[in-house]
Amino acid sequence: MPELPEVEIIRQSLNKKIKQKKVLKVIIRNRNLRFKIPLNFESHLKEKKITKVERFSKYLILNISDNSFCMIHLGMSGTIHILDNKKLLKLTNTSFYNSPFLPKKHNHVEIIFNNFKIIYNDPRRFGFIQIIKNKEELKERFRHLGPEPFDVKFDIDYVYNYFKKRKKNIKNFLIDQNFVSGIGNIYASEILFLSKINPSTNANLLNKLECQKIIFYAKKVLLKAIEKGGSSIQNFTNTSGVEGNFQKNFNVYQREGLACKTIGCTDLITKNIISKRSTFFCNTCQK
């Protein structure tokens, strides 16, 4: 599943291409995503401008000229591709996640502009596209989610007080969107390594210094991942021909059996399964 940095790369790609552009036509080939695309979706977007593209957590938010919003969540396998009528793009994917080329199957939604179109592709159909009527409804839609790591609300008081009465392990908290929005499995392992905290440690056992480290490294890791273009694992490039290469900076993720990168540490990276998710760490550095 794309995490916050990958979705931010998509936002940047889309905003550059569709900001202040008018939708000419919408084609729905399959409405049966995680939530069924409403019957009025095509008419709602047609002849309206996309004023800008924003993001919250792992959600893309297309601002529409009538002050409504089109919200897109990519689920497990969703990608958004740009096809330009003026030039043949070898690479159509707006991010570095999954295929860099437009697949032949599972192209469920086309949003057509003048001289180009964007296509939503999703083989597993766990993603969804929804119309949100206004800002109040959008705010309510995200009410159950925790703040992003970049939010001023994600501070020591919030984190320490949230943890102190909860016995769940810290790894599960970092991927719990009710606690903090946007962190997924890859970046949780990287954050905990830099914080020198074992992923199995119960959150209520963490002191304020350890909580402060989590706050600091959550911001640092995600910002670096955005700067590096996200984590593609398979070294795909986006429509600009830029490679997402944060995976080259992994300290622990997918490095099971390899030497720890900490200077002076002779241990190997270990993988455990926590709540059915692969978790990578160093037993020596993260006690």
Q: Does residue 147 have an active-site annotation?
A: no
- 136's CB contacts (< 8 A; 6+ apart) are none
Q: Compute the chain's Rg from CA coordinates.
A: 20
Catalytic residue among 3, 6, 8, 148: 3
Is 93:101 a contact under the CB 8 Å cutoff?
Answer: yes
**How distant, in Å, are the alpha carbons of 82, 200, 213 from that of 93?**
7, 36, 35
Distance between CA atoms of residues 193 and 197, nearest Å = 6
Q: Does residue 243 have an active-site annotation?
A: no
Give the residue ranges of DSSP H helices in 145-263: 156-163, 170-174, 185-195, 208-227
Distance between CA atoms of residues 67 and 268, nearest Å = 53
Provide the 10 A C-beta neighbour count for residue 49. Answer: 16
Is 31:68 a contact under the CB 8 Å cutoff?
Answer: no
Distance between CA atoms of residues 238 and 44, nearest Å = 29
Helix (H) or strand (E) holding 272: strand 269-274
CB-based burial, 29-43: b 16+ in 10 Å, e otherwise: eeeebbeebeeebbe
Catalytic residue among 2, 5, 149, 199: 2
Q: Does residue 58 have an active-site annotation?
A: yes
Catalytic residue among 55, 58, 213, 255: 58
Catalytic residue among 22, 46, 141, 277: 277
Q: Does residue 3 have an active-site annotation?
A: yes
Helix (H) or strand (E) holding 274: strand 269-274
Pairing of strands 107-113, 116-121: antiparallel
Is 9:94 a contact under the CB 8 Å cutoff?
Answer: yes
**Residues with active-site annotation:** 2-3, 58, 277
